[in-house]
């Protein structure tokens, strides 16, 4: 009888221990879920507040939430390797007579703008920003300006489809003279001393490594520069190339798309 009571007490104690363990497990598990939910909630709120206030938010490489969203989509991107000869052929047909020197360009520019042979790019355009143009000037033939603006609109439309905020395209090179082309050829392997479609005002370069967020503060070294944004941009350029609107070369060394307008 005594032995039976001892076994009964032992089993009751075991059951209590097991129940307490289950209770603690459930409570701990639920606490973890609540903490994860709170962290996500606070992170989302901080992100929303930063976007609404225009506050700069920088994420380390691989941690950018916008890039993570973009990388989950399948993008229809072509090779984007149209031959330079085709770029030059279109440029000579649609472009201006090249300027030999920078001084000549400064002298002739007002006349070409009045005659609408060239058009200035906007400093504060809706869809793009100009990088520090050390070897080119912010002018293109009107058809090329229209092309650039449409690329920007279609790029932003793709971001909207993903419920992402707008990012500005970064235009890195525009109209060059023979003089500036020669100078650039000494430091840029892609800008050789051979003829370039840039001198005709029909071509421009858009970076696929740097995209400027709405707060217009570029990310520092070691932080995300929105590298994944190249996917929607490349898809836009593929679509417009297939529509016969432009020629495109994806330049590797300079991390840009070299784009020439077509008729």
Task: Give the tens place of pLDDT for each residue, 110-139.
Answer: 999 999 999 999 988 999 999 999 899 999
Residue 59 buriedness (CB in 10 A; 0-12 / 13-18 / 19+): middle
Q: Which residues of 167-182 are buried (b: 16+ CB within 10 A; e: fewer)?
A: bbbbbbbbbbbbbbbe
Given a cut of 70, whether residue 10 has pLDDT beyond it is no
Q: What is the pLDDT of residue 146?
A: 97
Helix (H) or strand (E) holding 160: helix 142-161
Tokens representing residue 62 in the block: 């691989």
Q: Would you tell me the crossing angle of helices 230-242 and 142-161 to the nearest 10 degrees? A: 130
pLDDT band at 195 (very low <50, low <70, confident <90, very high): confident
Given a cut of 70, whether residue 253 has pLDDT beyond it is yes
Beta strands in the chain (DSSP E): 119-120, 128-130, 139-140, 167-173, 203-207, 212-213, 246-251, 256-261
Q: In this structure, are strands 246-251 and 212-213 parallel, antiparallel, or unpaired? A: unpaired
pTM reported for the whole predicted model: 0.77
Q: What is the pLDDT of residue 57?
A: 86
Quote the mean pLDDT of the chain. Answer: 86
């Amino acid at each position: 009888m005594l032995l039976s009571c001892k076994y009964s007490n032992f089993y009751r104690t075991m059951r209590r221990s097991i129940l307490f363990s289950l209770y603690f497990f459930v409570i701990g598990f639920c606490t973890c879920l609540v903490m994860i939910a709170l962290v996500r909630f606070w992170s989302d709120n901080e992100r929303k507040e930063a976007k609404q206030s225009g506050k700069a938010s920088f994420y380390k490489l691989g941690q950018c939430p916008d890039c993570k969203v973009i990388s989950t989509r399948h993008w229809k991107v072509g090779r984007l390797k149209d031959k330079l000869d085709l770029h030059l052929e279109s440029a000579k047909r649609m472009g201006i007579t090249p300027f030999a020197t920078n001084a000549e360009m400064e002298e002739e520019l007002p006349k070409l703008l009045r005659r609408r042979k060239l058009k200035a790019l906007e400093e504060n355009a809706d869809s793009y920003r100009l990088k520090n143009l050390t070897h080119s000037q912010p002018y293109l033939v009107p058809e090329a300006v229209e092309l650039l603006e449409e690329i920007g609109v279609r790029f932003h439309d793709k971001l909207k489809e993903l419920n992402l905020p707008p990012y500005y395209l970064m235009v890195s090179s525009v109209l060059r003279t023979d003089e500036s082309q020669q100078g650039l050829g000494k430091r840029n392997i892609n800008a050789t001393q051979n003829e370039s479609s840039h001198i005709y005002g029909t071509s421009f370069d858009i970076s696929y490594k740097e995209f400027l967020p709405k707060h217009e503060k570029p990310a520092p070294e070691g932080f995300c520069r929105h590298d994944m944004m190249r996917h929607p941009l490349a898809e836009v350029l593929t679509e417009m190339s297939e529509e016969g609107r432009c020629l495109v070369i994806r330049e590797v060394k300079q991390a840009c798309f070299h784009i020439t307008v077509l008729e």
